[in-house]
Structure 1
Amino acid sequence: MTLTGKDLRGITVATVLPFDEAGAIDWDGYAAVLDHCARPETTDCVFVNGHAGEGTALSDAERIEVIRRTRDQIGAGRPLLAGIIPTGIPDALRQAEIAREAGADVAVIFPAEALGGGNASTKAAVRMFEQLARDVQMPLSHFQFPIASGFGLSTEVIAEVAQIPEVIAIKEGSATLLAYDENRRAVKAAAPDTAILPSNFHWFFAQVALGGDGILSGLASLVPGLLADLWQASEAMDLAAMRAANDRLYPVVRAIYGPAPVIDMHTRMKDGLVAMGVIRNATPRLPLLPQSPAIRDGVVKALRDAQVL
């Protein structure tokens, strides 16, 4: 299917990927994850092979199989986004082609290595997306990194990227609320049909209160219903319901994203899925490491406090 930004409204789950004790993908566990987090009543779109799915630790063959299995399980009716984590344009083209052939609808382009060191604030990203728009035969989305990482695009650049017709969405992860609002306003002024998908985990409530086209998060792998409650309340302009949903989300957000390093957030989500009985093993692939018993206990307590365990 050919998608537009309007097709990506709502909750997009960035799926975690479980492994077995030997480090191989646990395909039965992954099917159970999709059963848990990709139900139509809570989730509108599915995003695979991103940070949550440990995309950088996967081979091409594994990424292809993730896409194929996901498409088979969710069916043809819902958008399937696939992470493209390139070293440069040739690698981005190669990854996007195999993702499209495997069944993905949208290529979510992560910043290339060369965009670091301050280059992300220049027009380099615009030129990159212009070439990808010419050569990739599918809709594109930009994956906005935190500004502090050095890979986050400036507001001026992100608005230019959003105007490229093939770019239908911005996954907005600038990791500051000011940057989110500045980028949201600039994109909507320049390209109103380009979807803005909030993904700043500490500020889900504030982001959807300001405005956005949905929520894209790995946290939807763990507590899709809580995020769906927040989103639906925001769509209804019901502040009291938004606050109630946020109060239930708060302990989970703090347990998942609070401890350092934050990159371990997706392993903590898998710890929560183990506690729920969805998967058997939470161990990630190197260079990520298992979490301490104290961190795991904190996740379990947070799920109980949120009344989902």
Structure 2
Amino acid sequence: RKYRTTYAIVLVLAMIIGTNTAFGETIGSCHKREKMLCKKRDITSLWKELSDELSELKEEMVNIKETVNGLKKDELGELKQEILDIKETVNDLKKGELGELKEEMVDTKETLNELKKDILGTKNQIRVGPHMDCSEDKNFTGARIIQPHGQKAFRVYCSGGCVYIARRFDGSVDFYRGWAEYQRGFGSPGGEYFIGLDNLHGLLNQSKYSLTVELTTWPPQSETRHAKYSVFDVSDESDNYRLTIGSYSGTAGNSLSWHTAIRKPPHSIPSQALAARYHLERKRHITVF
């Protein structure tokens, strides 16, 4: 009986302990479930907050994008307007500068023309003496005074830059003259004349010249021929006015070739006779230049 009693007590205790353990397990399970529910509620609440914040953020981004687009449009519009203004300003400047440049060019051209006139005037003023020959003014035709280098001045007929050393065209001047007159010249350059051997030598002595002879028969005028010599020179009286000519070309014939051997006639031959011979042989329209 003693053993039975002890066993009964142990059994009761075991039952009590077992009951308590089961109860504890039940309580613990409730706490875990509540915690999970709490956590779920917390997560749900947090997710909602995040969703709300995300929505607000999206809305702000949309607003920012719209603002940026608006700013871009405004800035682009202003930039385009500034570019247009700059272009207009540049065009206005170009037009103004081109106009001023054209005016300056016109003024410069007028100034240059005035300077040219002044230079020509000054050149004419600087020239104190007459021309050395007719070559300096090829546009001039008529009688004028020339003065070869180192020689006295005398009148000649000029045309096309050439000096006419003899002219016969109407018979108004008598070429039947003595030697002395052929030395110093006779007639008038405005009409019929001969330049004179001394004047001719002074002219030819300053440079190299060529000779052209034009012959026209008369009356009436029916035929004209010419003779050209590449070189033409006449020495002075001390060398008896020796004639030097170059190569010939033309249609009048090389009639001067034999004259290169002629000098001033000796005293045994009258000078008047030689002058008369020239007069008879050259009784034609003669323009020598």
Question: Which of the pair is proportionally richer in strand?
Answer: 2
What is the TM-score with the length of structure 2 in the denominator?
Answer: 0.20
What is the TM-score with the length of structure 1 in the denominator?
Answer: 0.19
Structure of greater Rg? 2
